[in-house]
Amino acid sequence: MPRSQAEPVAGTYSIDTGVAELMPDTIAGGWLLTVNGSQSSHIHPDPAVLDFEYMRQMSAVMAERFPFDSPVRVLHLGAAACALPRFIAGRYPASKQVAVEIDGELARLAREWFDLPRAPRLRIRVGDAREVVTSLTANTRDVIVRDAFAGARTPRHLTSREFLEQAHRVLAPGGLYLANCGDNRDLALARAEVSTATTVFRHVALIADAAMFKGRRTGNIVLAAADQPISATPELVRTLLSDPQPAQILDGPRAREFGSGAIITDAPTAG
């Protein structure tokens, strides 16, 4: 018999890292999860619907490399309500995914609220993302998605060259690293993340809307990195431009030139 799923209940919940709030989305449908005041996940009744544009952008890049229905091994660093793992489970039914979430109570609530795929299709592992990556065997993942935040920023130890070296080690040949880079208008962090990624991976590409690239707003840039080229194919460009929030892709030299030259390391910062 299929497992019964209780209807989520809107409200504020105490979690290990603070406070989570679950609210119905009366416009798009589904549920919006905020963690400590920041939007964290959106779960639509249809798993194929991703409300956050950066997740749609990630899925578009992933589809360029891995045809739908192919078996993929995906590691998510940052889980929240598991919107992207849920989407991937639908598009790639033979996939095996692990989602790492530092907040154990939030992970428990996500399983309680939403009908998430069960292991081995999706395992939720509670722990620090850096520690988990370091513990994994080399060449065992096809895709690593970094979508972990403390407030509005990704913890520094998940942006450094040393962290990326561990992620690179865990990726199998032909693997893909995807990161959600949240930044403000000066783009200093995103530019440093790009420069850092180029010291570890042979190829990088960036996706965002024009206003974000021009530093006109605070938001997200998707960083894609791999040892094989990530190209702005006509199909990928069309997919990004036809999105409800049209986006651009920078690849090759344009992506590298976006970098600031600053390299993020584990070394303590001055001051």
Output the domain CATH number for residue 181. Answer: 3.40.50.150
Token pair belonging to 188: 């200093």
Q: How many CB atoms lie within 10 A of CB 115?
A: 15
Q: What is the pLDDT of residue 5?
A: 58
21 close to 113: Cβ distance less than 8 angstroms: no
Number of domains in the chain: 1
User: Tens digits of per-residue pLDDT, 72-121?
Assistant: 999 999 999 999 999 999 999 999 999 999 999 999 999 999 999 999 99
**205 domain-assigned:** yes
Over 60: is that where the pLDDT of 26 sits?
yes
The Cα diameter of the chain in Å comes to 59
Judge whether 33 lies within some domain. no
For residue 97, the SS3 value is strand
54 within some domain = yes
DSSP category for residue 156: G
- pLDDT given for residue 96 in this prediction: 97
Per the domain annotation, does 220 fall within a domain?
yes
Q: Tell me if 10 is assigned to some domain.
A: no
* Average pLDDT over every residue of 217-229: 96
Domain span at residue 138 reads 50-258
Please report whether residue 24 resides in a domain. Answer: no
Q: How far apart are CA 219 and CA 114, in angstroms?
A: 27
In this prediction, residue 3 has a pLDDT band, given cuts at 50, 70 and 90, of very low
| Residues 206/54, Cβ–Cβ less than 8 Å | no
What is the Cα–Cα distance from 10 to 46, expressed in whole angstroms? 19
Is the Cα dihedral 187, 178, 75, 160 positive or negative? negative
Per the domain annotation, does 267 fall within a domain? Answer: no
Inside any domain, residue 111: yes
